[in-house]
Amino acid sequence: MRYDNGGWPGVKTANLALGRLVIAGAPSLLGEKLAIAAARQGPGLVVDRMALIESDVADGRLRVVHESRKKLPACFVVTMPGPKRAAARAFLEWLKSQS
């Protein structure tokens, strides 16, 4: 499984889930001027999928300042092309049913 935007050469992919991109940063950095200064110095803002930072947001370590309106392909199952064993096919079908 990969959590990314897809497009890997030489493999077969199937999208399992959609996700929203967010812009987030430490609460202490989120005044307009502080956020710009932090971004210039390195410890700035992150642009990532909400699923990857949701525990940080819930615990108050990060605060979301913007969330995309559209959900984008985010979580993919990646396999080699060609025939699959019965157990692998069953697992892939189960994964798809859970998404």
Residue 87: predicted pLDDT? 92
Would you report the helix, strand and coil content of the chain in percent, each value rounded to 5? 35, 30, 30
Residue 53's pLDDT band (cuts 50, 70, 90): confident
pLDDT over 70 at 70, yes or no: yes
Q: How far apart are CA 45 and CA 56, in angstroms?
A: 13
CA distances 43 to 5, 31, 94, Å, are: 24, 14, 40
pTM strictly above 0.85: no
Residue 38: CATH number of its domain: 3.40.190.290
Q: Where are the beta strands (DSSP E) in the chain?
A: 2-3, 12-19, 21-25, 46-49, 63-67, 72-79
Q: How long is the chain? A: 99
Number of domains in the chain: 1
pLDDT over 90 at 80, yes or no: no
> What domain range is 12 assigned to?
2-98
Residue 69's pLDDT band (cuts 50, 70, 90): confident
